[in-house]
Amino acid sequence: MLALSTGAFASEYERAVGALASLIDQTKATSEATAGDVFVGNLGDGKASAIVVIEIRANGVGGPRVSVDNYVDLSLVKVEGEWKVDGVRNLNLGVAGGATSPGRTGPAAQPTPAPTASTAPRAPAP
């Protein structure tokens, strides 16, 4: 994660995780995110933005949980020829999750439909 981030975002990420370290340890929390569709916009001058749809699988003392259709907005910058994450914004904030099956949740409402995977531009190659 940190290798794919700019210094500023990596520091912000480490501070956020550090603040939650005790809670993560207490709940024995683990998680894994898998990217699905990627929609790229505003590409130019060494900067890009992308909306990524991710699925998150988490586990801990409360049992397993899968959260689908999570939309995140990534700010990307080109650093020494490689694309790095410079900022992340959760687009699902304020959207109530609804159970779709045991241990599986997703947003009750989703953003306006984006282009399909076959017509959407893809993220720039690193």
Q: What is the pLDDT of residues 78-119, one digit of tens each?
A: 999 999 999 999 999 766 553 333 444 444 333 333 433 433
CATH number of domain containing 59: 3.10.450.50
Question: Could you tell me if residue 6 is inside a domain?
Answer: yes
Question: Could you tell me if residue 82 is inside a domain?
Answer: yes
Q: Nearest to residue 30, comparing CAs of 65, 70, 69, 72?
A: 65
pLDDT score, position 37:
96
Question: Could you tell me if residue 81 is inside a domain?
Answer: yes
Question: Could you tell me if residue 106 is inside a domain?
Answer: no
87: which strand partners?
75
Question: Could you tell me if residue 110 is inside a domain?
Answer: no
Q: In this predicted model, what pLDDT tens digit does every residue of 5-62 receive, in sequence order?
A: 988 888 888 888 888 889 989 999 999 999 999 999 988 999 999 999 999 999 999 9
Question: Could you tell me if residue 36 is inside a domain?
Answer: yes
Question: Could you tell me if residue 114 is inside a domain?
Answer: no
| Total tally of structural domains belonging to the chain | 1
pLDDT score, position 76:
95
pLDDT score, position 8:
87
Single-letter residue type at 59: N
List CB contacts of 23: < 8 A, sequence separation 6 or more: 29
Range of the domain at 41: 2-94
pTM as predicted = 0.65
Question: Could you tell me if residue 68 is inside a domain?
Answer: yes
pLDDT score, position 117:
41
Please answer whether residues 64 and 57 qualify as being in contact, where contact means their C-beta atoms are separated by less than 8 angstroms. Answer: yes
pLDDT score, position 94:
67
Report the relative pairing of strands 65-79 and 104-107 from DSSP bridges.
Answer: parallel
